[in-house]
Chain A
């Protein structure tokens, strides 16, 4: 594992919010019948968080579950634990129809932090980022300028963003540009 490097190797930028590439994170695509006890038990079992509802996310530290589609969950774990977690899911769902696959290395994850995070995202995503509309716990698959992205707020002053690894440079460039000092909008202030 010592050779594994994330897309931007933890790059950071300080604008009116801070932008950080979070390094390697464990991510598993879990597809199945989300209403079935088996899938629920497996998902909850490997993460220790509650099952999320539609467009919801639950996280504790690096572990969590995010609702991706009516038959897909994103299982988040520490990077080093992905192999074990996958094996655990396979064991729990043995004989059932499901798909669990490691996508940790296909992705990049960013965190932006500061009072202006809602504005930064509202410059890039066609999403209502107002405090009464986008609250911690909401999970949104959307587009960030020209790339697909998924976003959520771990807290009121932070946003985490998942995008594909190949466009991590572009995503970082977008976030830096949107967070440039002097470009504050002041809408959610």
Chain B
């Protein structure tokens, strides 16, 4: 059983007990524990179930590579699934639940899958559920979904705070082990601005556990000293609990800082996502130990040798009283020696190498530990826990020579450098046969725009497994990084560590070498996704020869741990099955993030009230206080209508329109785009932008214009006012303000750069209020001394007036068909004018109307709306707007496009009005059907509804539509099938339903 030892626990504050729960069970750990170490201290070996077979799973590792110990952490608004126990720091009140089990962790029904294991092989789902086809959707998928998935999705809104942070440094170093520390010192001493990040809460990486000496003193002292030194350097920033999540082009690095995971009630953000630009990136990310593939290597109690050592030294936790060590390299001997020195029993070290180990092996023997060379594990004995191992010769087929009782197995299959961050941006790898691992090819680093390397790799991550070599390498890399960013490294010598004499590792991909199918089916490669040696071999036999294909077919390395433990073992097995060397098989692609990061950290501050910017006009708060039912228009919120008590949106719109047409109403039109165009060539410029002639417009006058894209399609419309000889003000649609301004600038900067024109987007400078209705002039006259009579301020002209003491520009333009003024005042005075107009309008029973009233009234008048009648495929000619296209001009944007044959095709659908014969409202976007069917067996069509409303003015449904030969078919009826199967008939009519002669707006 696993338990807490009386001694050890380098990272613990044993004076401070911490309470937590696991599956509701109250447990105690110490400050400094990880959740994993605390669970082990409480003999909680079983922590979860595997994905496919629901096999019992225990903790395998001690860091971010852990595949099994995933838990649901927290409750309610702080619940988060799939959290690694090995990287979760223990805090008081932590609650954790295990995942993927039913009804309980100890007794799981799904484990029956395990007995069916021989049927659930690679590609099982693909093969089995493919037929009969309809069964997939209705039977197989729902059942599989029920049993699939690890953690449960949170149900409540995350209550924590998250943020981003932008940082710019010369050198960013990822990994705070001895290599990262030394590289930081070397670069920092040269004067470079350095950011060093370490994913755990502690500096030094593995070195304090693995031991050794530097400059004649123990390595942990060396770590303390170098950290103290770095802390005094102003140009070096040290951050713990911050993981290098991804490396991207142009020296961009994402740092994932877990600010408050270990103290959830502290103020401040839970996570902070650092978005870093660096001149040079150094990955000092260390290495990960590989498991060995032997039967039963997934039984709880089988653990990486380095993890066993970590738990003992860092947390004072023993995994068992009797630990068998099995290895193919010298490093695992350290575990045996450590355990033995702590008074624990190591019955045997099984060294798969026939020649055995080096100096450490001698040391182990001197301690009295039995060492068996050329031996391995035939299988692990036990179910939910290890009870022993069956020993065999590595060279054989697994004939058991001896069974040894034990309650833990410490395995080491060699070390793989963490090459992920090196690879994210294209760094290449080479296979190092001597060390049996892939390591970065330093000559093929990720390169920047000039072809220069911007990522370097240092220490163990660079394939140096010996402390002396690690420090020498890190020092050189740190100096080189500083040099690459323009600094002069100091000629200080690197710290010198005592070199060790190790026997070389031997590549062992299967134990024993000739294991039969029964053993291979129990030799796990991917613990989380339940992929075994036999599955990869089957995939190879079935032709999945590319490592990327084999990965997807078997799901090897596709779990939340992304195969940190399994990938190399898996592709070695694949290579063996394909009878090709490992480099020829290659690796799968490494992609960010290194380990999963929270979605909330990516969202950063963009949540709640500041999820996205909402643009507000100066009258926004009035709208809010007066029943506005808002709709989004771009990033603006505009009132759709204003709800009075008891009203539905439909009745409110009806009321607003009736009141407007009968008396007086206000509309907040501030969102309309307003662009100043000024210069000697402004008229010429606008003649090119608009289809009609603007240069002939007289100062003081307004003209409606259409703007087309180069391809002739209608993209915006609005009223242009000529302010003076050189200056025009172009109104655009609300959504077009920014894009039309950009469109203008693009033409001015790229094509007509020599034209003397300046533009300015002054959309937000003005609050614009439409004063609309038969009493519009009367209410304005109450507020001004200026002459705004029909003669003085005629239709389609404007005047600068003083209104209620406020300087205003009154445009006499109408989008409703009524007598109408659009009053522009400075935005800061918009609300004041709005209030005064409401006050003065009270005697006329003034109302306010929203966008829906605006839409209905313009439709009654037959005015088109960009985005309704146009959809990017419509030209002005389709809308019978030839009157707005100048015939005198040589050119305008879109002119030539509109002369293309398809654009002049007489069968293009054209704009008409529609009136339903039963008075109902046509559905949006409904199609008019035509006889017959097309090649796809669908009904032929001959028209499409572009706008459709109930007109309160006319008391019936009206619509606009694009119809084949429409204008020539007045009075004909069309059929519009509805989704409910019924058909509405509508008569083709003139699109101007109301006041065709414009008498109302012209009074």
Query: Considering the chains assembled together, what is the distance between the CA atoms of A6 and B827 in angstroms?
Result: 8
B778 within 8 A of A: no
**Chain B residues numbered 644-694 whose CB sits less than 8 Å from any CB in chain A:** 676, 678-680
A65 within 8 A of B: no
- Minimal Cβ-Cβ distance residue in B for A103: B765
A10 within 8 A of B: no
- Minimal Cβ-Cβ distance residue in B for A3: B832
B164 adjacent to A123 (CB under 8 Å): yes
Give the segment of A43-51, A56-64, A170-178 that binds chain B: A170-178
Task: Name the contact of B268 in the complex, choosing from A4, A173, A184, A187 (C-beta under 8 A).
Answer: A184
Given A101-B760, A174-B610, CB of A24 within 8 Å of CB of B828: yes
A147 adjacent to B613 (CB under 8 Å): yes
The number of residue pairs between A and B whose CB atoms lie closer than 8 Å in the complex comes to 140
B interface footprint on A1-29 (CB within 8 Å = 1, 0 otherwise)? 00111110000000000000000100001
- Chain B residues positioned under 8 Å from A133 (CB to CB): 168
Query: Considering the chains assembled together, what is the distance between the CA atoms of A182 and B618 in angstroms?
Result: 34
B140 within 8 A of A: no
Give the segment of A109-117, A150-158, A161-169 that binds chain B: A161-169
Known contacts A106-B765, A122-B166, A166-B617; 7 additional CB pairs below 8 A are: A5-B832, A98-B758, A102-B826, A105-B827, A122-B165, A145-B605, A178-B605
- Minimal Cβ-Cβ distance residue in A for B677: A99
- Chain B residues positioned under 8 Å from A3 (CB to CB): 805-806, 828-829, 832-833
Given A99-B758, A106-B765, CB of A183 within 8 Å of CB of B161: yes
B interface footprint on A126-168 (CB within 8 Å = 1, 0 otherwise)? 1111100100000000000111000000000000000011111
- Chain A residues positioned under 8 Å from B680 (CB to CB): 97
- Chain B residues positioned under 8 Å from A184 (CB to CB): 268
Query: Considering the chains assembled together, what is the distance between the CA atoms of A5 and B828 in angstroms?
Result: 5
A173 adjacent to B610 (CB under 8 Å): yes
A31 within 8 A of B: yes
B758 adjacent to A4 (CB under 8 Å): no
- Chain A residues positioned under 8 Å from B893 (CB to CB): none
A-B contact pairs, 24 of them (CB 8 A): A97-B756, A103-B765, A105-B827, A106-B762, A106-B827, A119-B165, A123-B164, A123-B605, A125-B166, A128-B277, A147-B613, A165-B827, A166-B616, A167-B615, A167-B635, A169-B614, A169-B616, A173-B610, A177-B161, A177-B610, A178-B163, A178-B605, A185-B272, A187-B165
- Chain A residues positioned under 8 Å from B829 (CB to CB): 3-5, 105
**Chain B residues numbered 595-617 whose CB sits less than 8 Å from any CB in chain A:** 604-606, 609-610, 612-617
Query: Considering the chains assembled together, what is the distance between the CA atoms of A187 and B269 in angstroms?
Result: 15
- Minimal Cβ-Cβ distance residue in A for B670: A166
CB distance from B192 to the nearest CB of A (A): 13
A180 within 8 A of B: yes
A interface footprint on B241-284 (CB within 8 Å = 1, 0 otherwise)? 00000000000000000000000001111001001010000000
A32 within 8 A of B: yes
B interface footprint on A75-109 (CB within 8 Å = 1, 0 otherwise)? 00000000000000000000001110111111100
- Chain B residues positioned under 8 Å from A145 (CB to CB): 604-606, 610, 613
Task: Name the contact of B762 in the complex, choosing from A24, A71, A101, A127 (C-beta under 8 A).
Answer: A101
Query: Considering the chains assembled together, what is the distance between the CA atoms of A168 and B676 in angstroms?
Result: 23
A interface footprint on B137-170 (CB within 8 Å = 1, 0 otherwise)? 0000000000000000000000001011111100
Query: Considering the chains assembled together, what is the distance between the CA atoms of A169 and B806 in angstroms?
Result: 25
Task: Name the contact of B676 in the complex, choosing from A101, A104, A126, A185 (C-beta under 8 A).
Answer: A101
Closest 10 CB pairs of A and B: A182-B267, A3-B832, A182-B268, A99-B758, A166-B615, A106-B764, A4-B828, A128-B168, A105-B827, A106-B765
CB distance from A150 to the nearest CB of B (A): 14
Among the interface residues B680, B762, B806, B831, which one has the most CB atoms of the partner chain A within 10 A? B762
B764 adjacent to A166 (CB under 8 Å): yes
Query: Considering the chains assembled together, what is the distance between the CA atoms of A165 and B167 in angstroms?
Result: 28
Task: Name the contact of B678 in the complex, choosing from A99, A104, A122, A167 (C-beta under 8 A).
Answer: A99
CB distance from A153 to the nearest CB of B (A): 16
B213 within 8 A of A: no
Query: Considering the chains assembled together, what is the distance between the CA atoms of A147 and B635 in angstroms?
Result: 11
Task: Name the contact of A97 in the complex, choosing from B165, B612, B636, B679 (C-beta under 8 A).
Answer: B679
- Chain B residues positioned under 8 Å from A169 (CB to CB): 614, 616
Query: Considering the chains assembled together, what is the distance between the CA atoms of A145 and B617 in angstroms?
Result: 21
Query: Considering the chains assembled together, what is the distance between the CA atoms of A96 and B168 in angstroms?
Result: 43
**Chain B residues numbered 798-851 whose CB sits less than 8 Å from any CB in chain A:** 805-806, 826-829, 831-833
Dominant SS at the B interface? mixed
- Minimal Cβ-Cβ distance residue in A for B674: A106
- Chain B residues positioned under 8 Å from A4 (CB to CB): 826, 828-829, 832
CB distance from B234 to the nearest CB of A (A): 11
B323 within 8 A of A: no
Query: Considering the chains assembled together, what is the distance between the CA atoms of A3 and B831 in angstroms?
Result: 9
- Chain A residues positioned under 8 Å from B609 (CB to CB): 173
- Chain A residues positioned under 8 Å from B805 (CB to CB): 3
Given A122-B165, A165-B764, A174-B610, CB of A187 within 8 Å of CB of B826: no
CB distance from A110 to the nearest CB of B (A): 14
Task: Name the contact of A105 in the complex, choosing from B275, B614, B764 (C-beta under 8 A).
Answer: B764
A126 adjacent to B269 (CB under 8 Å): no
B713 within 8 A of A: no
Among the interface residues A31, A164, A165, A182, which one has the most CB atoms of the partner chain B within 10 A? A165
- Minimal Cβ-Cβ distance residue in A for B766: A105
- Chain A residues positioned under 8 Å from B615 (CB to CB): 164, 166-167
- Minimal Cβ-Cβ distance residue in B for A99: B758
B695 within 8 A of A: no
Query: Considering the chains assembled together, what is the distance between the CA atoms of A165 and B272 in angstroms?
Result: 29
Query: Considering the chains assembled together, what is the distance between the CA atoms of A106 and B680 in angstroms?
Result: 26
CB distance from A25 to the nearest CB of B (A): 11
B240 within 8 A of A: no
- Chain A residues positioned under 8 Å from B163 (CB to CB): 123, 177-178, 183
Query: Considering the chains assembled together, what is the distance between the CA atoms of A180 and B193 in angstroms?
Result: 27
**Chain B residues numbered 745-762 whose CB sits less than 8 Å from any CB in chain A:** 756, 758-760, 762
Query: Considering the chains assembled together, what is the distance between the CA atoms of A21 and B676 in angstroms?
Result: 28
- Minimal Cβ-Cβ distance residue in A for B260: A182
Query: Considering the chains assembled together, what is the distance between the CA atoms of A151 and B604 in angstroms?
Result: 21
A182 adjacent to B266 (CB under 8 Å): yes
CB distance from B621 to the nearest CB of A (A): 10
- Minimal Cβ-Cβ distance residue in B for A172: B610
B435 within 8 A of A: no
Query: Considering the chains assembled together, what is the distance between the CA atoms of A146 and B618 in angstroms?
Result: 21
Given A166-B636, A174-B610, CB of A127 within 8 Å of CB of B765: no
CB distance from A98 to the nearest CB of B (A): 7
- Chain A residues positioned under 8 Å from B268 (CB to CB): 180, 182-184
Given A166-B636, A173-B609, CB of A187 within 8 Å of CB of B167: yes
CB distance from B727 to the nearest CB of A (A): 8
B613 adjacent to A170 (CB under 8 Å): yes
CB distance from B172 to the nearest CB of A (A): 13
A164 adjacent to B760 (CB under 8 Å): no
CB distance from B688 to the nearest CB of A (A): 18
CB distance from B241 to the nearest CB of A (A): 13
**Chain B residues numbered 876-924 whose CB sits less than 8 Å from any CB in chain A:** none
- Chain B residues positioned under 8 Å from A180 (CB to CB): 161, 267-268
Query: Considering the chains assembled together, what is the distance between the CA atoms of A117 and B181 in angstroms?
Result: 30
- Chain A residues positioned under 8 Å from B679 (CB to CB): 97, 99
Query: Considering the chains assembled together, what is the distance between the CA atoms of A102 and B762 in angstroms?
Result: 8
CB distance from B753 to the nearest CB of A (A): 11
B269 adjacent to A127 (CB under 8 Å): no
Query: Considering the chains assembled together, what is the distance between the CA atoms of A71 and B679 in angstroms?
Result: 14
B237 within 8 A of A: yes
Query: Considering the chains assembled together, what is the distance between the CA atoms of A98 and B727 in angstroms?
Result: 11
B269 adjacent to A183 (CB under 8 Å): yes
- Minimal Cβ-Cβ distance residue in B for A31: B758
Given A3-B832, A99-B678, A182-B266, CB of A127 within 8 Å of CB of B827: no
Query: Considering the chains assembled together, what is the distance between the CA atoms of A147 and B161 in angstroms?
Result: 20
- Chain B residues positioned under 8 Å from A146 (CB to CB): 606, 612-613
- Chain B residues positioned under 8 Å from A174 (CB to CB): 605, 610
- Minimal Cβ-Cβ distance residue in A for B237: A187
